[in-house]
Amino acid sequence: MKHLIDPTDLTVEETNNIISLAEEIIANPEYFTARMAGKKLATLFYEPSTRTRLSFTSAMMELGGNVLGFSDPKSSSVSKGETVEDTVRVVGCFADIIAMRHFVEGAPYVASKVSPVPVINAGDGSHSHPTQTLTDLLTIKREIGRLDNLTVGFCGDLRFGRTVHSLIKALSRYHNNKVILIAPDELRLPDYIIQDVCVKNGVDYREVSTMEEVMPELDILYMTRVQKERFLDEDEFDRVKDSFILNLEKLATAKEKMAILHPLPRVNEIMKEVDADPRAAYFRQVANGKFVRMALLSRLIDWKDRPEHTMPEHPDYFVDRTMHCTNLKCISNVEGADPLFHRLDDGTVRCSYCESKIRR
Interface residues with ligand NCD (CB under 6 A) are 51-52, 123, 129, 132, 162-163, 225, 227, 263-264
**Residue 182 or 358 having the CB closest to ligand NCD:** 182
The C-alpha atoms of residue 164 and residue 167 are separated, in whole angstroms, by: 5
CA-angle at 231, arms to 107 and 56, nearest 5°: 45
* CA–CA separation, 179 and 260 (whole Å): 15
Of 52 and 327, nearer to ligand NCD (C-beta) is 52
Residue placing its CB nearer to ligand NCD in the complex, 129 or 290:
129
Residues 6+ apart with CB under 8 A from 147: 137, 140, 141, 171, 174, 177
Q: How far is CA 310 from CA 11, 21, 96, 129, in A?
A: 10, 19, 17, 20
Judged by beta carbon, residue 192 or residue 341, the one nearer ligand NCD is 192
Min dist CB 238 to ligand NCD, Å, is 18
Q: Which residues contact 45 (CB under 8 A, 6 or more apart)?
A: 53, 69, 70, 71, 72, 73, 100, 101, 122
Q: Smallest distance, Å, CB 55 to ligand NCD? A: 9
Of residues 5 and 340, the one with the C-beta less far from ligand NCD? 5
Least distance between ligand NCD and beta carbon 277 (Å): 21
Tell me the C-alpha distance between 128 and 72, whole Å.
21
Question: What is the distance between the alpha carbons of residues 287 and 276, in angstroms, rounded to a whole number?
Answer: 17
Residues 6+ apart with CB under 8 A from 123: 47, 49, 52, 101, 102, 129, 132, 162
Q: Which is nearer to ligand NCD, 83 or 285 (CB)?
A: 285
- Residue number with the shortest CB distance to ligand NCD? 263
Q: Kindly state the smallest distance separating residue 132's Cβ from ligand NCD, in Å.
A: 5
CB of 264 to ligand NCD, least distance (A): 5
Whether 99 contacts 56, CB under 8 Å: yes
What is the smallest separation between the CB atom of 47 and ligand NCD, expressed in angstroms?
8
* Burial of residue 224 (number of CB atoms within 10 Å: 0-12, 13-18, 19+): buried
User: Among residues 69 and 123, whose Cβ is nearest to ligand NCD?
Assistant: 123
Give the shortest CB-128-to-ligand NCD separation in angstroms: 9
